[in-house]
Amino acid sequence: MRVTAVGTSGGVPTARYGTSCVSMELFGDRFLLDCGEGSSQRLMRHASVNVDSILISHFYADHTLGLPGVIQALEMDDRDRQLDVHVPAGRYDRAVDLIEGAYGEPSYPVEIHTYTSDEPAVETDEYSVTPFATPYTDYSHGFVVQEAAKREFDPERAQELGISPGPKYGQLQAVQSVETPDGETVQPDDVLSEPQPGRKLVYTGDTRPTQAVVDAAADASLVIYSAMFSEDLAGHARSTGHSTAREAGEVATEANADRLWLTHISPRHEGDEEQLVTQAASAFDGDVVAVRDGDTTGITRSR
């Protein structure tokens, strides 16, 4: 699991930073969480524009205007496979208008899917991406990216039960029973651990700190939080439906998260990002970074 901050400016782009976009690589799949203005150019610089899916948290311009550009960049690269675009239920027509109005009809398939809260928008055997509602607008969401639970195989225990290394190890790991040379049956539960939670990333989108956000972020390996303002602008954050860096830290603490990325940073704080880190760290003792375009990290299990 690798995560790259593609656009980190809140509201409008600046000369240095684009608006909201996060790239993820997970089990060979590549997808975007939001697609703000200029995302295609910044993807070429910091990650890859060759994505499989794009998930839009809500339909404000700083989260969506890059969508036609990415679609065009993929066409210029002779794409032929389908691109999946996931938008909130109730925003299908706006997605169509955005793509067709700005670009027209691409030569490869672009499939628009709608999602609702608390049901996976994307689900594979290895991971799921599940939206959760945020209070920013009637149609705004964050996303929980959750790796499927894993069961660890104990080869020493298998040998104790009479199973030698070989194909039967694979059968047991595929949750199939096998027989020993003596005709005894060995069940998967005999050699597999209890399911261990997989890695978890939470992207909040624009939000105020709420219990729903805390619940969604519970035990996350990484929380990417829309921390637009410093604490001296807390009143402005409340009135506009955004959060401060300290509030992001409080959510991460309540959620028992491992790491916190501050993003969607107001242009007024450009060059003074350490102020936001200090404020978040005053409420959260985990690792805190005010990410900027191009920052990247791998996510490993830490629990």
Structure tokens at 120: 């996976």
Q: Kindly give the interhelix angle for 39-46 and 67-76, rounded to the nearest 10 degrees.
A: 60
Give the 3-state secondary structure of residue 106. Answer: coil
Q: For residues 280 and 230, what is the distance between their CA atoms, to the nearest angstrom?
A: 9
Residue 225, helix vs strand vs coil: strand
Mark out the alpha helices in the chain (DSSP H runs). Answer: 39-46, 61-64, 67-76, 92-102, 155-160, 167-173, 188-191, 211-216, 234-240, 245-254, 273-281
As a whole number of angstroms, the longest Cα–Cα distance in the chain is 73
Residue among 34, 62, 258, 293 flagged as catalytic: 62
Report which of 97, 18, 27 is spatially closest to residue 7, judged by C-alpha positions. 18
The yes-or-no answer on residue 62 being catalytic is yes
Beta carbons of 243 and 281 less than 8 angstroms apart: no
For residue 216, the one-letter residue type is A
Q: Residue 286 has what DSSP assignment? A: S
Both tokens assigned to 148? 């499927």
Calculate the alpha carbon distances from 79 to 25, 51, 118 in Å: 19, 11, 32
Say which residues have a Cβ less than 8 Å from residue 247's Cβ, sequence separation at least 6: 208, 209, 227, 234, 237, 283
Would you mind telling me the total number of residues written for the chain in this entry?
303
The residues near 101 (Cβ < 8 Å, ≥ 6 apart) are none
Residues labelled as active-site residues: 62
